[in-house]
Structure 1
Amino acid sequence: MTPRIIELCKDLFKKWAKLDNSNFSAETISGGITNLLLKVSVKEENGNIVNMTVRLYGPNTEYVINRSRELQAIGCLSAEGFGAKLLGVFGNGMVQSFINARTLNPSDMRKPKLAAEIAKQLRKFHQVEVPGSKEPQLWNDIFKFFHKASTLEFDDSEKQRKYETISFKKVHTEVIELKELTGLLSAPVVFAHNDLLSGNLMLNDDEEKLYFIDFEYGSYNYRGFDIGNHFNEYAGYDCDYSLYPNKDEQYHFYRHYLEPEKPHEVSDKDLEALYMETNTYMLASHLYWALWALIQAKMSPIDFDYLGYFFLRYNEYKRQKEKCFSLAQSYLSGSGTR
């Protein structure tokens, strides 16, 4: 792939067009389950070394990602200090400035000091204004995913057999029920990251500086969805949901999210409300990524068991549903619909 990356860099950045190919090097940073990230280093004529990140989109990701929305958001978020600077765009990817930091592991996210910092940064992130429609995209995206996911056919007979065990009528009923319940919550709408997993959080340990990266799923959305989705990611790709944060860990996060400067002044009432909001929208996160995984199972060439991932997420949704519905219903009945 390196010769093509060199050609791309020379094409995008004319100042390097005449450099010898030996002045360029490329290495894989990480292979997520949507994109491939490469670190590209360029030795300029004056001996200066420039490092960049080249992100190559996975094939067919336009089915699940709105690229024009992403590019618009990157400009606004970058201006507010989030993520890497956008240096160039090409047909199936983008070039960004290189962030000198390590990617977090799922276990890092639950460390109290880091959890507090993530919460503070997320509050700031949610305050960024991005041009365009402020309509929350959660249910638009879920119904779009559902329509695509429920009409697939697999060439692999074993995949097709597993796929046919899914009752899409039941999945649709679950989506409708949850949409109706969340509609009663009046959750604030913010510009949300929507994919705040450990791989999209980076930390420079020396400077103790935290970075949010990768805004391709970003959109206006419900605050509780963004936080609940983040908590689900404590489980990692292995989906070990025993790692989902307990109530004390969640309250620690909420305090630093709601009042970054005075976390211990947050009222019990506000903690209780955000706990209920987050743990209801957490269910929507499972449905979102479960349906996303079915589309990826058909479209993506990345070696990942997307079909298995659907069942891990959907089964966890079913396991948590009764408890979370009861929490929301009891809160709503006890407080009117405050």
Structure 2
Amino acid sequence: MAVKTNGVVDGILPEELMKLLLSLATKWGDGLDLKNLKVHHLSGAMTNEVYRISWPTKNENVPRRVLVRMYGEGVDRFFNRDEEIRTFECLSKKGQGPKLLGQFANGRVEEFIHARTLSAEDLRDSEISSLIAAKLREFHNLDMPGSKNVLLWDRLRKWLNEAKGLCSPEHLKEFSLGNLDKEISLLEKELPTESHDIAFCHNDMQYGNIMIDDKTKAVTIIDYEYGGYNPIAYDFANHFCEMTANYHTDTPHIMHFNTYPDLEERQRFVRAYLSSSGNQPSDEEVKKLVDEAEKYTLANHLFWGLWGVISAYVNNIEFDYMEYARGRFKQYWLRKPELLGASDDLLHVDGSAEPIHISPQ
């Protein structure tokens, strides 16, 4: 079965994956002939390669479907794969997301969820947006094993060190990586991190990680690779930023920040989140969380900017990671004076509110 993906040898699905699929088919009584496998690449993934694989069953009208996730190159630089698998299994047991069906050397097989993945346009639909908000509240209420300390700042520092170790001198200078440790410390100091607002966050709330059953209106959040405990405002910030992205265009790396959700849209989302518990929040509660989320967009820009720089050096997926990183860093320096104020102690080392090498358009 010819497929272009990481972990594929000479265009053939890995033998270990073939054996796993045969084992699953036998377990389900399908009598699989590998020649009957149908492989469909699912676009939009930027960390892994994702495929829907199907084959006929004894009931010819109902094919068997599974989802295969081929791990991207260098993903171990971003997170611990063993911890991510434990998170995946734990969430599955809690009724969140698909079941893990099996693992092989460079990937895994998951239950195929019979729901559609959201599109970029869906995030702007007020009804769907409210359903996402309620599901996110449910997700944040999960009690997950492991450390409940905020992971954002340590992860940013780890990724910064990774980026410095990979980058050419030109990119080190362009992205002012030598000064980003100060920026991370500044954000850690300035952004609110009240303990009662810390929860298990998804940290990658883009439309491709959200599914919906159009009949039942049930929403499922998938792909927990970046999951961990963080301020809930960070998940909102990430989701709002992702509302400017469309990864199914000719330029998927470009985020259109002129389409960033306006205040009314952000307030509506936060209100739907808070009211999903059955209690109506006050205007002050909504404003507080909206304001916090807005400040956390700065951390989100650094997070995905560093991700883009590292990915450009280690990942072979067809995506312009470096240009994506430029866009995120540019947005960071553009918004920082507005969100944190441009007082002397918040200025950049050259005395401006943005770095010399990445000036906002």
Q: Give the shorter-chain TM-score range.
A: 0.7 to 0.9
2:241 paired residue number: 232
Q: Aligned partners of 1:137, 1:57: CA distance in 2, in Å?
A: 22
2:74 paired residue number: 60
1:278 paired residue number: 293
The CA deviation at 1:50 is 1.8
The question of 1:49 aligning with 2:63 is answered: yes
Taking structure 1 as the reference length, the TM-score comes to 0.87
Q: 1:308 aligns with which of 323, 326, 329?
A: 323
Q: Aligned partners of 1:136, 1:220: CA distance in 2, in Å?
A: 5
Contact 1:28 1:38 in 2 (8 A): yes
The answer for unaligned runs of 5 or more in structure 2 is: 4-11, 246-252, 343-361
- Kindly report which structure 2 residues correspond to 1:19-38, keeping only aligned pairs within 5 A, or say none: 19-38=32-51
Contact 1:293 1:306 in 2 (8 A): yes
The question of 1:92 aligning with 2:101 is answered: no
Superposition RMSD on alpha carbons, in Å? 2.3
Q: Aligned partners of 1:277, 1:299: CA distance in 2, in Å?
A: 33
1:311 is aligned with what amino acid?
R
> Once the two structures are aligned, what percentage of the paired residues are identical?
34
Could you say what secondary structure the match of 2:101 adopts?
strand
The count of aligned residue pairs is 321
Q: Aligned partners of 1:31, 1:109: CA distance in 2, in Å?
A: 15
2:226 paired residue number: 217
Could you say what secondary structure the match of 2:70 adopts?
strand
- Kindly report which structure 2 residues correspond to 1:75-86, keeping only aligned pairs within 5 A, or say none: 75-86=89-100
Greater shift, 48-57 or 165-174, is seen at 165-174
2:52 paired residue number: 39
Greater shift, 171-180 or 137-146, is seen at 171-180
- Kindly report which structure 2 residues correspond to 1:26-175, keeping only aligned pairs within 5 A, or say none: 26-44=39-57, 49-153=63-167, 161-175=170-184
Greater shift, 199-208 or 222-231, is seen at 199-208
Could you say what secondary structure the match of 1:55 adopts?
strand
Contact 1:30 1:37 in 2 (8 A): yes
Q: Aligned partners of 2:43, 2:107: CA distance in 1, in Å?
A: 15
> Stretches of 4+ moved more than 6 A in 1?
none
Contact 2:52 2:67 in 1 (8 A): yes
Could you say what secondary structure the match of 2:159 adopts?
helix
The CA deviation at 1:179 is 1.0
Deviations 1:178-209 (A, max 9, x none): 11112565561111100010111122223322
2:198 paired residue number: 189
The CA deviation at 1:12 is 6.0
Higher share in helix: 1
Q: Aligned partners of 2:277, 2:147: CA distance in 1, in Å?
A: 31
The question of 1:266 aligning with 2:281 is answered: yes
